[in-house]
Chains A and B, each alone.
Chain A
C-alpha cells in the first residue's frame, strides 16, 4: 500500500492531501454545527434582536419598505424585515403566528378571518394609504378620453369573452379596430378590486386578455400597442406618463364630483375618482403590539407613513382619516370594518362608524 501511494503521488491527488482537505471540510462543518447550537440557545434567550416581521402584498411592499427604512433611523435597535408573499400568502403566515404585521391590498376575507380565529389570533385592521387603479391607452389613441364603468364592464365582463373584440362594439363612434386588453394576473389584489368594482363580483372577468403579474409588462404592452387598453396601479402610470394616455372615469354620480375625473393624488384622496380607488391596509397582531419595537413601528407607520406613501407613488389618507386610524390603533379595535356589503364605502364612513 505504502509503495503504491508513493507511486501515485506524481499523477494524482494524494491520500494525505485529500484527507487534509476533508479534515478541513469537517472542521468547517462542525463549526457550523457549533454555530447552530449557539444560535439555537440564543433564540430562546433575551439576547435575540428585536425583529418586526412584516409580510404580504406586493402592492403595499414599497410603502412598508419606505416606512421601515425611515423607522430604522429613529430606532436603530429594531430590525424590520418585509417579505412579499402576496395578500393571501401574508394572511396565511399571519394566522399561523409567523409574522407580526400582514400587508393587504384588499380587506381580509371571511375564510381568512376563520383561519385566524381557529388559531386564536386577532388582528387590528389599519388603512394606511390609497391606491388608484389607472385605466390607460396608447398615446396615439385619439378616440378614447373618458369612460364610464358601463364601458369598462362591456370590455371586461365575463360575457365579453370572445364577443367584444373591437373598439366600436363598446361605443359605435369609436373605430372598428381590434381591442387589445392588458390586466394584472388573477391572483393580484388589483384584479380582485377591479372586478369587484366594475363587474360587481370579485374575480368575475373575461379570461381572454393579456395578463401579467408584473405591472411593468402591462405598461410595456399598452405603450407599444395603439389598440391596447390596460389597468394597473396608479404608481405605474406616474412613472411612465410620457408613454401612456390616462383615461378619466365618469361614474354618473354627481355627489362625488361631476363629469369625468382622471385619477390623481387629489381625486383619489378626496374620493372623486370612483369607483377605482381603494385603500390598502396593514393588519397588526395585538399581542405583538405589546412589544415596544412593533408598537413603535406601527405608530410611526400611521403618523409618518403618509408622505412616504406619496413618495413611492401612492396616495396618503387625509389627516382626519389618519387621526381616525390612530384612534382605532390606540383603542386596539380588533376585527374588520368590512363584510356586510360595504366594500365600496369610504374610509371616513367606515372608520367613523366605530366598527
Chain B
C-alpha cells in the first residue's frame, strides 16, 4: 500500500468515526424523544395545560408547574444576566492578569462544577432562612441564579475574549475611554456569544430539580404564582412526583410534562436565536 493510499484510508476511517460519534448522540436523542412522545403525546391537550394537579391522573394538569417554571426562569435570567455579564466584564477588561485574577478564575471554574444540590442548601440557608424570603418564587430564582452564574460568567468571558484586540486598539486610538470602548465596541460584538452562553446556562437551569427541592419548593400547588412572594412548584418537580406514583396513568402525565418542558425550552432557545440573528445582521 502506498503512502497515499494509506492516508486516504485513514481519511475515510476518521470520517466514519466522526459520523458514528455524531449519529450516536442523535440516535440516543431520537430514542428518548420517541419513547417520551409515544408515552405522553396522547395526554397533551388544552385541559392538561390548564388544569391543576390532581390525585386522578386523567384530571391532573401542568398549569401551576408550567407557570411556576416561567416565573422562576424569567426571574433567574433577570438576576443572573446583569450580574454574570458585569462580572465577566470586570474579569476580562479590568481584572488584569495577576495572581488575584487567576485565583478568582479558578474558583469560578470550580463553582461551575459544584453539584447543583449544594446550591439548594445554600439557597435554603441564605435566601429562605437568613434573608427570610421564604419558599417563594424569588428565593427559588435566586437559588437557580447561583447555579447559572458560573456558566454565564465563563461563557461571557469567552465571548469578550474573542473580540479582536484590533477593535479595542482602534477605539483607544480615536481617543475613546475604556468604558466607551467596552460599551460601544466590545459588548455589541460579543453580544451573540454572550447570548449563546446564556441559552446554555438557562437551558440547563430550567431542568434543575434538586436545588429547588432542597431549598424547599413545593410539590402540590393548586394555584399559579401571583407574584414573586408566591409559593410555587416547577415542571421538573411535578414530573418527578408523577414518575414516583404507583399508578401507571401518572407515567403518561410525566411524559407529557417532559414534552411541555421541551417545548418551553425550544421556545426559549428560538427566541434567543432570533434575538441573536437580529443583532448579527
Contacts and interface: CB of A to CB of B under 8 A. Distances in A.
Interface of A: 1, 4-5, 8, 12-15, 17-18, 25, 28-29, 32, 35-36, 38-40, 42-43, 51, 53, 55, 58, 61-62, 64-66, 68-69, 72, 79-85, 93, 96, 98, 214-216, 219, 233, 235-236, 238-240, 308, 311-313
B54 A69 contact: yes
A84 B241 contact: yes
B13 interface: no
Contacts of B82: 25, 29
B243 interface: yes
A64 B223 contact: no
Given A79-B222, A82-B218, A311 B243 contact: no
Given A5-B184, A40-B229, A215 B78 contact: no
B30 to A, nearest CB: 24
Contacts of B188: 8, 12-15, 18
A340 B279 CA distance: 72
Contact of B244 (A35, A39, A58): A58
B55 A15 contact: no
Contacts, number: 119
B138 interface: yes
Interface residues of B, number: 42
B169 to A, nearest CB: 13
Interface string B228-252: 1101000000000101111110000
A4 B172 CA distance: 12
10 contacts: A13-B188, A13-B279, A17-B279, A25-B78, A62-B245, A66-B55, A72-B222, A80-B222, A83-B217, A235-B246
Given A28-B78, A32-B75, A83-B218, A15 B183 contact: yes
Interface string B196-222: 000000000000000001001111111
B219 A61 contact: yes
Nearest to B227: A39
A208 to B, nearest CB: 24
B37 interface: no
Contact of A65 (B174, B191, B220, B247): B220
A240 B250 CA distance: 13
Contacts of A25: 78, 81-82
Contact of A215 (B184, B187, B244): B244
A103 B257 CA distance: 26
B277 to A, nearest CB: 12
Contacts of B219: 61, 65, 82-84
Given A15-B184, A62-B55, A79 B228 contact: no
Interface in B40-91: 53-55, 75, 78, 81-82
Nearest to B231: A81
Contacts of B231: 51, 53, 79, 81
B29 interface: no
Interface string B130-171: 000001001000000000000000000000000000000001
A69 B54 CA distance: 7
B281 to A, nearest CB: 9
A160 to B, nearest CB: 28
Given A17-B279, A29-B82, A238-B246, 10 more contacts: A1-B184, A18-B183, A18-B188, A18-B191, A32-B228, A51-B231, A65-B220, A216-B245, A311-B55, A313-B247
Contacts of B241: 61, 84
B244 A1 contact: no
Contacts of A313: 246-247
Nearest to A311: B55
B101 interface: no
Contacts of A18: 183, 187-188, 191
A196 B218 CA distance: 30
Contacts of A214: 243-244
B53 A65 contact: yes
A35 B218 contact: no
Contacts of B112: none
A98 B139 CA distance: 15
B189 A93 contact: no
Nearest to A235: B246
B244 A216 contact: yes
B38 interface: no
B98 to A, nearest CB: 30
Contacts of A219: 246
B176 interface: yes
B138 A36 contact: yes
A216 B243 contact: yes
A136 to B, nearest CB: 13
B107 interface: no
B246 A240 contact: yes
Contact of B55 (A14, A58, A80, A308): A308
**What 7 pairs between A and B have smallest CB-CB spacing?**
A82-B220, A239-B246, A13-B188, A66-B55, A39-B229, A13-B279, A236-B246
A28 B219 CA distance: 29
B180 interface: yes
Query: Which residue of B221, B241, B245 has the most chain A CB atoms within 10 A of its CB atom?
Result: B245
Contacts of A29: 78, 82
B246 A39 contact: no
B228 A35 contact: yes
Contacts of A98: 135, 216
Contacts of B171: 4
Contacts of A240: 246
A312 B55 contact: yes
A5 B174 CA distance: 12
B126 to A, nearest CB: 15
Nearest to A93: B216
B64 to A, nearest CB: 10
A69 B222 contact: yes
